[in-house]
Copies of this chain bind each other. A is one copy, B any other.
């Protein structure tokens, strides 16, 4: 089952600057060979369900190993069985209706 997620990992108890933790998560997705797109409030990730969620779990493990005692993460997860649709398809579908 293919899934597209939007992921926002928030380390708690390590101060206000969290970008170094997010950068480590990006490396996890790259090493897993997952297709991603970083935006200002999270990361879009596309792939097989098990691979995507294994990477999410790895993010929690690594961010804890980096010293964060607590993490709260927000995930939106979309699946569809009627047709395939990539991240680019979704953005393009909206942009076509705007032009």
Contacts and interface: CB of A to CB of B under 8 A. Distances in A.
Sorting the interface of chain A by its residue count into under 10, 10 to 19, 20 to 34 or 35 or more gives: 35 or more
A56 B56 CA distance: 14
Contacts of A47: none
Interface string A81-99: 1100001101101111110
A23 B78 contact: no
The prevalent SS among residues of A at the interface is: mixed
Nearest to A67: B81
Interface in A1-42: 1, 3-6, 8, 10, 12-13, 15-16, 18-20, 22-23, 26-27, 37-42
Interface of A: 1, 3-6, 8, 10, 12-13, 15-16, 18-20, 22-23, 26-27, 37-42, 44, 46, 49-50, 53, 56-57, 60-61, 64, 69-82, 87-88, 90-91, 93-98
